[in-house]
Amino acid sequence: MKLEKESRTLFAVAVVILILLYFLPIWRIDLKAPQYPEGIGLYILIDDIRGQERNNLLSVNRLNKYIGMQAIVPEEIPELQIMPFILGGVIVIGAVCWFTGRRKYLTGWIILLVIVGIAGLVDFYIWAYDYGTNLDPQAPIKVPGMTYIPPLIGTKQLLNITASSYPASGGVIAGLSGLLAISALYFDKRLKKKRAQ
Amino acid sequence: MQSKYNYLITVGLVMVLVAAVFIGCPRDAEVTHEAADRVYIAPGDLDEFYAFMSGGFSGQVSVYGLPSGRLFKEIPVFSVKPEEGYGYELETKDLLMTSFGHIPWDDTHHPSLSLTDGIPDGRWLFINSNNTPRIARICLETFKTMEILEIPHSAGGHASPYATMNTEYLVSATRFSVPVPQADVPISTYKENFAGTLSFISVDDNGTMDLDFQLIVPGFNYDLASSGNGPSHGWMFFTSYNVEEAHTLLEVKASQFDKDFIAAVNWQRAQECIGDGQGRTKEAEYYHNVRNPDTFMSESTRKTSTTVLEPDNCPGVMYFLPTPKSPHGVDVDPSGEYIAAGGKLASVIPVHSFSRMLEAIENEAFEDHVNGIPVLDYEATIAGEVQDPGLGPLHTEFDNRGYGYTSAYISSEVVKWEIGTWEVVDRIPTYYSLGHIMVPGGNTMEPYGQYLVAMNKSSKDRYLPVGPKLPQGGQLIDISGDRMRMLLDFPLIGEPHYAQAIPAEKIQPNVKRLYDLHQNQHPNAVRDVTEARVVRDGNTVHVYMAAVRSHFAPDNIEGIHVGDEVYFHVTNIEEEWDIGHGFAILGDKNPNILLMPGETKSIVWKPDRPGIFPFYCTDFCSALHQEMQGYIRVSPEGAGTPLMYGTGDEMVTR
């Protein structure tokens, strides 16, 4: 069954806006501590982890050293190398699906998008769990029973630091893309029903 | 006339004594709780103005906030400062170089903010030193002294620096005339052999100073200066006293004449004359010391000549305006038309008119000539006299509503008077013995007329006593209304001569939080712990050291011997705001050095006995600051201990 013109346009927008993910941070981790009135935090991009302000990543690594957390070295995280290709795949497949103009391909692309999204979040949590629990036994500061897993989403108190983790602009766009694709599907059904009358 | 002034002084002294008798009675009855609201800056909030106070005999500049009167910083300028290593570390040592050698102290007097279109632009602060005449430039991004220029052919560099409208020039005039060039002559030959100089120092777009020319002038005592503004741009005014040319007991002998002079100098005319070849090159010896912001290093250059100009060879370059009586301050109003003088022994404040001065020159209304310099007729230049201005009027500042404010030393008060009517409209006592006053922007074309800071020479009972040497007292006065109101007392460092203030927003956004480690071009910097190393070259050892939370690299060094000269080049490789480190070694005859993020500093240590010498971080940096330490092993001369160094378990052997 072919997609209606309007829903096909929505589908196109859903695919195209994903290109922005190459430029915008997907996730953000904000750290608040009494001695950082200026704020400190990280952005997770499709291919990088970087400080929200210059040198923030260095600062985070120097602070984490005290609790024995491994340094975050973006070059050593293989996912950051692979993710741009996965995103590229999602966009290309989306384009092909759009080109066919068939509704079942739209449905298929939505399922793909959801799977990739969930996989990304699971991977993020695995890394966060590893950083937060795999601590250097020689760390100067050891708090019995304490782990430092940052929240996947939401806010958590880690010693003197209040860590908040939320989707950044890229994450919002990814969500929007999914919503647009789902609404394309939904409106397509309604339009067809309307036009059949 | 003389007896009249003695009478005034006597009255003044009696008033001081009377004031002393009444110490303990309720004073400042007009100060209410409302004053507290005006000066209270709630925790976490910021002040409206930066105020830069000269430190006088401290040799430094102190930075305060207004209206709170809170002290933020003491910037080392002409005096060494062991607190941070200034003047000892290799990077700043050369800044204090002069033709007399390395001088660890001076007497700062008059800060002057750089100006664009007659308004402070927040780029630099200049300040003079009086004892060994010099001018320093402080960068207002880092609050560091970046340049010091010595002024030759001068002694007592008091009338200085007083920037012109677009910071084309700074000036420095001789307070203590001396033979030019210096010579071994009897002091009693003062009139024949002594001269003054009025030096004009150009400032380029980078702030770099250069002694452009010196006017050779009669051997009076040149006291203070003020630059023309607007219509009077291109002119500089200097007060003088001791036109009697006395060389001993000046307190009496230099107070004989009814009038001394304001010297009005047309520096644009001087430029023309020099352009026409009227100047001549004169031998001189002076030092120009400049600090490079990228390498942190300072470099001293010895200069050997200046361009001098005799007023005789340049008609129209200079005129004398007779002014009663031993005038101290000379202050041009924001319009550039009026020139107020503070005759410290005078009973009026004479205010000259710039336009009338030009007319008098045009009409050749000269009453005399001194060394070929025309002396203008007093009546021809005067615009008005402020009657009853208090005893011992010294300095005038202006607001933006057409009023002048003059400090009176003997009667300890600020006198407010109106430009044009020359009438005193208000007065307020200060505690005690008022010297300079400062209205933010009050010497510029756009004063901010909310506050006036009084800088008192004496504080007596204003603070809890701290022994015979008391702090000198700053007082903040509200001048926004018709009546002046006392708001706040705050102690000052050293002797506050003049001050400057500027709205915080003109400086705050440009202030550096740290030095960019990647832009650090210090020849001996390290940018990472992996670059840390120790290198021996004969008896010289260079330690290239990194400081980073919470260790030094290297932190164990062996193979140093008695007799070695050990250079420590320490770089703070932090790249985070307000993470400073310090470095000090047991028994070192240097003070500690303080290192801000991205900064490199060097000191030379000469171990004179074998043993183990700990070093440590002196600036609390982190939770494990107390652990930030290391050891140096010093062996006897010739012991042959191999050079080894490291951090952690691995030692590198050289």
- pLDDT tens for each residue of B492-526: 999 999 999 999 999 999 999 999 999 999 999 99
- Whether the predicted pLDDT of A41 surpasses 80: yes
Q: Which of B548, B549, B575 sits opposite A55 (nearest CB)?
A: B575
Q: What is the CA radius of gyration of chain A?
A: 21
Listed by start position, the domains of chain A span: 5-196
Q: Once rounded to an integer, what is the mean pLDDT over residues B545-570?
A: 97
Entry field: residues in chain A: 197
Q: Once rounded to an integer, what is the mean pLDDT over residues B130-145?
A: 98
- Whether the predicted pLDDT of B271 surpasses 50: yes
pLDDT number for residue B257: 87
SS3 for A120? helix
Q: Is A117 exposed, middle or buried (0-12, 13-18, 19+ CB in 10 A)?
A: middle
Q: Once rounded to an integer, what is the mean pLDDT over residues A133-157?
A: 93
- Whether the predicted pLDDT of B3 surpasses 60: no
**A140 and B CB contact within 8 Å:** yes
- Per DSSP, the residues of B55-112 read -BTT-SEEEEEETTTEEEEEE-SSS-BTTTTBTTSHHHHGGGEETTEE-----EEEEE
Q: Is A107 exposed, middle or buried (0-12, 13-18, 19+ CB in 10 A)?
A: middle
Give this prediction's pTM.
Answer: 0.92
Q: In this complex, do A62 and B576 lie within 8 Å of one another by their Cβ atoms? A: yes
Which residue of B519, B576, B622, B627 is the best one to mutate when testing the A interface, meaning the one whose CB has the most A CBs within 10 A?
B576
pLDDT number for residue B10: 61
The model's pLDDT over B436-482, given as tens digits with 9 standing for 90+, comes to 999 999 999 999 999 999 999 999 999 999 999 999 999 999 999 99
The label of the residue with tokens 């050749």 reads: B364
- Whether the predicted pLDDT of B276 surpasses 60: yes
All domains of chain B in start order, with CATH: 2-510 (2.130.10.10), 522-653 (2.60.40.420)
Q: In B439-539, which ranges are E strands?
A: 451-456, 472-478, 485-492, 499-503, 533-537
The label of the residue with tokens 């002196």 reads: B618
User: Which band of pLDDT confidence, cut at 50, 70 and 90, is reported for residue B12?
Assistant: low
Sheet containing B499-503: give its strands across: B70-75, B61-66, B49-54, B499-503
pLDDT number for residue B275: 97
pLDDT number for residue B14: 58
Q: Once rounded to an integer, what is the mean pLDDT over residues A84-103?
A: 96
pLDDT number for residue B27: 54
User: Which band of pLDDT confidence, cut at 50, 70 and 90, is reported for residue B21?
Assistant: very low
Q: In this complex, do B549 and A62 lie within 8 Å of one another by their Cβ atoms? A: yes
Q: In this complex, do A38 and B623 lie within 8 Å of one another by their Cβ atoms? A: no
User: Which band of pLDDT confidence, cut at 50, 70 and 90, is reported for residue B654?
Assistant: confident
Q: Once rounded to an integer, what is the mean pLDDT over residues A123-127?
A: 95
SS3 for B645? strand
Q: Which residues of A touch B575 (CB under 8 A)?
A: 54-55, 58-59
User: Which band of pLDDT confidence, cut at 50, 70 and 90, is reported for residue B26?
Assistant: very low
Q: In this complex, do B549 and A58 lie within 8 Å of one another by their Cβ atoms? A: no
Fold exhibited by the domain A5-196: Butyryl-CoA Dehydrogenase, subunit A; domain 3 (1.20.140)
Q: Is A32 exposed, middle or buried (0-12, 13-18, 19+ CB in 10 A)?
A: middle
Q: Name the minimum distance, in Å, from the CA of B574 to any CA of chain A.
A: 9
- Please list, in sequence order, all residues whose beta carbon lies within 8 angstroms of the beta carbon of residue B585, skipping any fewer than 6 positions away: B568, B605, B613, B614, B615, B632
Q: What percent of chain B has pLDDT over 70?
A: 95
Please state the ipTM of this predicted complex. 0.87
Residue of A nearest to B575 (CA): A55
CB atoms within 10 A of CB B316: 13
- Per DSSP, the residues of A43-63 read EE-SS-EEESSTTHHHHHHHH
Q: In this complex, do A59 and B624 lie within 8 Å of one another by their Cβ atoms? A: no
Distance of CA B196 to the CA centre of its chain: 21
Mean pLDDT across chain B, nearest whole number? 95
- Whether the predicted pLDDT of B316 surpasses 50: yes
